[in-house]
Structure 1
């Protein structure tokens, strides 16, 4: 079943060439506030995708930033400033290759 269509925009073409994956762990007492966290994080312009996980981390965010200063500002001043965030770990994306699956 087709769930919808989307446009795959190159972040570099819109002035956000630096991409990263950010693992996010929430405070233990934040479990009841997951919807609030998702709502708040999706409003930030750097966020491309949000993945809810099982395991050590609660979320992985795919983000795109203008440069390293923009990424640092996003992580330090926006993401880590959210009261329910316990910690983050950032990994830079050097290259993004799509899988070969027909889906």
Structure 2
């Protein structure tokens, strides 16, 4: 990746709806060269997709919970079974395999504690092989994720 690719990636992470012409001007290349660069970044797997950033509060999702999961076993089979089950629940927004005390860290959004209780009972409690679950609730977001640092 060269400096132009970095400029394109930074701009797309901030606003993926920018036109090719805008991106080309920003990077100092022609529109056709910019289009080729974007297609090459997609083909190489650097760009994996495009999405809108949605304010969860606008959807009524005022509660963000981070749930630490510890499994009864860390065998490959137990972990694969757990990971397949996580993929079946849209209520689980993110799932990360962790190093440290917990095996996994999940992120869940809910309208309120009552809805989180339903998610906890109907979704999280249904996950296979869980020996412990600890929930922590975000009070407020301090910094919004704006993309990966691509320069440097």
TM range (shorter): 0.7 to 0.9
More helix by share: 2
- Are the equivalent residues in 2 in contact too, given 1:52–1:59 (CA < 8 A)? yes
| Residue 22 of structure 1: aligned partner | 67
SS class of match (2:132): strand
Pick the structure with more strand per residue.
1
Structure 1 residue 91 corresponds to structure 2 residue 149: no
Structure 1 vs Structure 2 CA RMSD: 2.3
Query: What is the aligned residue count?
Result: 103
Gaps of 5+ in 2: 1-45
Separation in 1, partners of 2:96, 2:74: 20
1:98 offset after TM fit, Å? Answer: 2.2
The normalised TM-score by structure 2 is: 0.57
Q: Is the 8 A contact 2:69 2:134 kept in 1?
A: yes
Offset, 1:21: 0.5
Q: Which has the higher contact order (CA 8 A, sep 6+)?
A: 1
Q: CA separation of 1:43/1:8 partners in 2, compared to 1, >3 Å: closer, same or farther?
A: farther
Alignment of 1:69-80 (within 5 A): 69-80=114-125
Which runs of at least 4 in structure 1 moved beyond 6 Å after TM superposition?
A: none
Asked if 1:3 corresponds to 2:48, the answer is yes
Task: Give the equivalent residue in structure 2 for 1:54.
Answer: 99
Q: Is the 8 A contact 1:80 1:87 kept in 2?
A: no
